[in-house]
Amino acid sequence: MLAELLRPLPPERAHALALALARMAPPIPRRTRPRLATRLAGLALPHPVGLAAGFDKNAEAFAGLLRLGFAFVEVGTVTPRPQAGNPPPRLFRLVEDRALVNRMGFNNDGLEAVAARLARRDRAAGVVGANIGVNRDSDDPIADYVLGIERLAPLVDYLVVNVSSPNTPGLRDWQRPERLAPLLATLMRGLRERVGSGRRPPLFLKIAPDLENGQEATIVATALEAGIDGLVISNTTTARPESLRSPFKREVGGLSGDPLFAPSTELLRRVAARVRGRLALVGVGGIDSPERAYAKIRAGASAVQLYTGLVYEGPRLVRRILDGLERLLDRDRLERLEDAIGLDLRDRHD
């Protein structure tokens, strides 16, 4: 298994090798799964499983990753200017906890390099989104986001505004309504102006799992008022559960993987109850099995994203999840995956 072969390598070196192998990935025969088709803010997906931002930061391997079976791939996070990120070591495997801690710090090649690669993509090959952020030393974060929107909007199928990474100082303050409202209003205005009369790509906001009590209510209200299309729930967490066993558990950075599953899914469920279908939701955090992907869908997600699960399970995880989702639909006597979206919320009201 690829994941086991890469595990002896230092985490960043293993990631670089996995990325190189993904670029060379041959097409894998896909079984048509009409029951698993879903729509995400108007985007037609053959199934709900996508790759989260952070793996293909620089838009180098998205074509190969789509060939491996992902329904959609999110590149980035991309900042206007190239950025080295935080000094290494900055990525840690918590093997005992099936988790990662990262403090990468938006290391990327910058907007122009990423845009040049995206401009050459075959749009018929699959859905590609871009996650945009700000440079660490930016004097005008809103202008950074606007640059990302304007440059990448014509090149991708959707955009994600990242205000929730814990590894850029002060970034999460942009989730507060007094900052978030003008940010989203400016971005939506810039997006409409950039595409003119053409169809604009959907705009999503990626939020943190570590929200203050009730903060999701103000985020939902602000998102709806701004007219964005959806939320990605959630980014990594700064919390450190007492159950963690790894010697790396106290490393500074965002924790992902198994320990993030429960809190991110509960946040998804609370947000879905408030949204009531008015925003598209993407579930992220701790997905390493069909059951966990299905739990996110039942909690209100129209699609899900993997990252850490891929590190521990390898690329076969995608097919295993899809096979399992079909079995779970049979178990629940559901014809289509779309019938399962938000099912837990409907059950609570029955």
Catalytic pick from 164, 165, 234, 264?
Answer: 165
Contacts of residue 190, defined as CB under 8 A and 6 or more positions apart, other chains included, come to: 146, 149, 150
Q: Is 302 a known active-site residue?
A: no
Give the DSSP H/E element, type plus range, for residue 200.
none
How far is Cα 348 from Cα 87, in angstroms, rounded to an integer? 47
Please state, in angstroms and rounded to a whole number, the distance separating the CA atoms of residues 142 and 147.
9
Query: What percent of the chain is helix, strand and coil (3-state, nearest 5)?
Result: 45, 15, 40
Neighbouring C-beta atoms of residue 339, cutoff 10 Å: 14
Cβ proximity of 207 and 17 under 8 Å? no
Contacts of 254 (CB under 8 A, 6+ apart): 101, 102, 103, 165, 166, 167, 235, 236, 237, 238
Question: Helix, strand, or coil here: 283?
Answer: strand
**Selection from 329, 127, 129 nearest residue 232 by Cα:** 129
List, by residue number, the catalytic residues.
Answer: 165
